[in-house]
Amino acid sequence: MELVMAVAVGILFMLGVYLILSKSLLRVILGTSLLTHGVHLLLLTMAGLKRGAPPLLGGEADAYVDPVPQALILTSIVISFGVTAFFLVLAYRAHQTAPEDDGGGAREGGEMP
Amino acid sequence: MSNLLIMPVLIPLCAAVLLIFLKENQRAQRLVAACASILSLAAALILISRIHRHGIQTLHMGGWAPPFGIVFVGDMLAGLLVLTTALTAAAVLLYSFFTIGPERERNYYYVFFHFLLVGVNGSFLTGDIFNLFVFFEVLLISSYALISLGGTRAQLRETVKYLLINIVSSTLFVAAVAYLYAAVGTLNMAQLSQRIAETGQGGVLNVIALLFLIVFSLKAGLFLFFWLPESYSAPPLAVRALFGALLTKVGLYAVLRTFTLIFAYDPGFTHPWIAVMGAAAMILGGVGAIAYTDIPRILNYNVIISVGFVALGLAAATPDALDGAVFYLMHDMLSKGLMYMLGGIIIMLAGSEKLGDMGGMLRRYPLIGWMFLVLALAVAGIPPLSGFAGKVLIIRGAFEHGMLTLSLIGLASSLLVLYSLIKIFMLAFWRSEPAREYPKVRAKGATAAAAGLLAIVIAMGIGSEIVYEYVAEAGAVMAHPQAYIEAVLKE
């Protein structure tokens, strides 16, 4: 299972980087989004995938899952959603201010879909 | 346990929330912002005296003891940086009362200002590497808002780049945290340090250390600074002062903290990287600073030089050099804030950013001119002023460590700093007046704010002995992380 996750993370990173390197700002935003999702999966995988029961406190459980990575991912997802939302608004505003060159001229010669 | 530790985070947070409701009332906004600033200063001073008398302070959130709970740690390094932040922020706040304009004030400028301070102070005080990431994000999101606030075309363009760079570096930060958690199994900095000391810092941990170095260098502008000169030119003057003084320094603090506490056990592998990156930052920053003839770019490249210089102190890692790094970091936050404030006043009075359009300002504005000259001398490290002590300690430490070339680069970078700033002084103030009309602007209030900060810079230089007593305490914790570990993990 870890191997599958590693490959998935690799593919997400690859697609993310590819999209970030493209010209249109919207693709760049999608790219950053994929990149952060890739890193969340990485966090989950690196901390060890699910083994046994839910995370319990105080119970005499034989097996339990490490709750820390899930708490970390939750925080990280919230942050990445916030930043992505800001990025989208910024791109929209940049498109409004300077529609002729994609998003305020971050890159020359591209178009904003 | 000391609840005082949360105050530097809580005061700006409450102020920011309160300020949201005072959108239309300019006077109330300023009053709240000023009160929060004074309270932060008081909290920082009390915190430092407490640390000085009782040792490292810790606060366990919700009563959960580390390593399981979230912990705030106030050692002398964090305390001094919180105090310096409070001083700089107070001066910049006063400066922005006179320069930021009602339009931005009405659009939550002070709110973002205070959220930024939440992030900065939180980064200094947290004792947990994931919370460092969270506080980084708090300050970054506020900084995105501050850069783009106003929505001119240049601002939007630069925000897009700045945002993209920071999203990528934050992604790498989370990846580095994931690897670190997989390798060591904890995120509490003290426990990380303890476990790495037990197992030894082998191959995998060195790779993770370098990943952290890349992440923090991107944020600090240490070698990976390609985004900095343009991004810092876009926002209004007060925001530039805030960024130049605080943002890169948080990244630098993270480098100092991680490489003296967590990844301190294989300096033969990690520290040469820091040294080379610091040297590259000093050389490239120096080239940039002397190459340009517009004030914002000269100042932006000066930020990069000083970041490289602090990295040099860390790379040498002798107790002296670490003391010097702390001293210089404090001096740098104050003086860079002041430099941007004075640079902003010059731009405002001359009505242009280009040095070619200026001249003869010494007769019109003698006070500003002499203030700028004193600042230039302080930044270059001329003895009675604040840059001197830190510089001497760092250079001496580097010589002791046998880093001859790097020490020479460090010394040469001081000359480049002096040259680039004196160039501003010569061209803007000393040269005969150009055949153009200066705009009629008054900058009394902004000058008063700058004068206050200059007084602190001078006082810090003259009172080096007193400051050094506290700085040495911070340096001692960095040189011997055992004290930090014991303070956090003791029962």
pLDDT of residue B106: 87
* Residues in a beta bridge with B188: B128
Handedness of CA B411, B417, B423, B429 (dihedral sign): negative
pLDDT band of A110, cuts 50, 70, 90: very low
Residue A107 has pLDDT above 50, yes or no: no
Residue B1 within a domain: no
B-chain residue closest to A85, CA distance: B141
> Touching check for A30 and chain B: CB below 8 Å?
no
Residue B236 within a domain: yes
Handedness of CA B264, B268, B270, B273 (dihedral sign): positive
pLDDT band of B62, cuts 50, 70, 90: confident
Residue B302 within a domain: yes
Residue A51 has pLDDT above 70, yes or no: no
Structure tokens at B485: 């570990």
Task: Dump pLDDT digits (tens) for B466-486.
Answer: 999 999 999 999 999 898 999
Please give, one letter per residue, the 3-state secondary structure of chain B.
Answer: CCHHHHHHHHHHHHHHHHHHCCCCCHHHHHHHHHHHHHHHHHHHHHHHHHHHHHCCEEEEHHHCCCCCCCEEEECHHHHHHHHHHHHHHHHHHHHHHHHCCHHHHHCCHHHHHHHHHHHHHHHHHECEHHHHHHHHHHHHHHHHHHHHCCCCHHHHHHHHHHHHHHHHHHHHHHHHHHHHHHHHCCCEHHHHHHHHHHHCCCHHHHHHHHHHHHHHHHHHCCCCCCCHHHHCCCCCHHHHHHHHHHHHHHHHHHHHHHHHHHCCCCHHHHHHHHHHHHHHHHHHHHHHHHHCCEHHHHHHHHHHHHHHHHHHHHHHCCHHHHHHHHHHHHHHHHHHHHHHHHHHHHHHHHCCCEHHHCCCHHHHCHHHHHHHHHHHHHHHCCCCCCHHHHHHHHHHHHHHCCCHHHHHHHHHHHHHHHHHHHHHHHHHHHCCCCCCCCCCCCCHHHHHHHHHHHHHHHHHHHCHHHHHHHHHHHHHHHHCCHHHHHHHHCC
Query: How much of chain B exceeds pLDDT 70, in percent?
Result: 99
Domain membership of residue B409 as a residue range: 6-489
- The pLDDT of A77-83, averaged and rounded, is 94
For B178, the closest of A20, A42, A104 (CB atoms) is: A42
- The pLDDT of B296-315, averaged and rounded, is 92
Residue B69 has pLDDT above 90, yes or no: no
Structure tokens at B268: 């033969």
Rg (CA), chain A: 19
Nearest-neighbour CA in chain B from A89: distance (Å): 11
Give the Cα separation of B206 and B189 in Å (integer).
Answer: 16
Residue B164 within a domain: yes
Structure tokens at B220: 């600090």
Give the Cα separation of B423 and B409 in Å (integer).
Answer: 21
Q: Tell me whether residues A93 and B156 touch, CB distance under 8 A.
A: yes
Q: Tell me whether residues A68 and B187 touch, CB distance under 8 A.
A: yes
Which long-range contacts link B162-167 to residues 24+ away (Cβ below 8 Å)? B162/B227, B162/B231, B163/A83, B163/A86, B163/A87, B163/A90, B164/A20, B164/A28, B164/A32, B164/A106, B165/B218, B165/B227, B166/B140, B166/B218, B166/B219, B167/A32, B167/A35, B167/A36, B167/A83, B167/A87
Task: Dump pLDDT digits (tens) for B430-452.
Answer: 888 777 777 777 788 899 999 99
C-beta of residue B17 within 8 angstroms of C-beta of residue B137: no
Q: What is the mean pLDDT of chain B?
A: 90
Residue B137 CB neighbours (<10 A)? 21
Residue B157 has pLDDT above 90, yes or no: no
| Mean pLDDT lowest among A55-59, A65-69, B217-221, B423-427 | A55-59
Q: What is the mean pLDDT of chain A?
A: 81
Residue B490 has pLDDT above 90, yes or no: no
Nearest-neighbour CA in chain B from A9: distance (Å): 11
Q: Tell me whether residues A86 and B163 touch, CB distance under 8 A.
A: yes
More confident residue, B359 or B168: B168
Give the Cα separation of B112 and B471 in Å (integer).
Answer: 31
Chain A residues in contact with B137 by the CB 8 A cut-off are 79, 83
Q: Tell me whether residues B156 and A94 touch, CB distance under 8 A.
A: yes
pLDDT band of B166, cuts 50, 70, 90: very high
Give the Cα separation of B317 and B439 in Å (integer).
Answer: 50
> Touching check for A105 and chain B: CB below 8 Å?
yes
Residue A100 has pLDDT above 70, yes or no: no
- The pLDDT of B333-348, averaged and rounded, is 92
Tally of domains in chain B: 1
Nearest-neighbour CA in chain B from A16: distance (Å): 10
Task: Dump pLDDT digits (tens) for B344-397.
Answer: 999 988 888 888 888 888 888 889 999 999 999 999 888 888 888 889 999 999
pLDDT of residue A109: 40
0.90 exceeded by the pTM?
Answer: yes
Task: Dump pLDDT digits (tens) for B34-50.
Answer: 999 999 999 999 999 99
Residue A52 has pLDDT above 70, yes or no: no
Chain B residues in contact with A57 by the CB 8 A cut-off are none
pLDDT of residue B102: 85
Task: Dump pLDDT digits (tens) for B81-117.
Answer: 999 999 999 999 999 998 888 888 888 999 999 999 9
Residue B181 has pLDDT above 70, yes or no: yes
C-beta of residue B426 within 8 angstroms of C-beta of residue B303: no
* Residues in a beta bridge with B73: B58
Q: Which residue has the tokens 């599958």?
A: A4
Chain B residues in contact with A48 by the CB 8 A cut-off are 182
pLDDT of residue A111: 41
Residue B482 within a domain: yes
Task: Dump pLDDT digits (tens) for B289-300.
Answer: 999 988 999 999
Residue B171 has pLDDT above 90, yes or no: yes
Chain B residues in contact with A89 by the CB 8 A cut-off are none
> Touching check for A5 and chain B: CB below 8 Å?
no
DSSP conformation class of A85: H
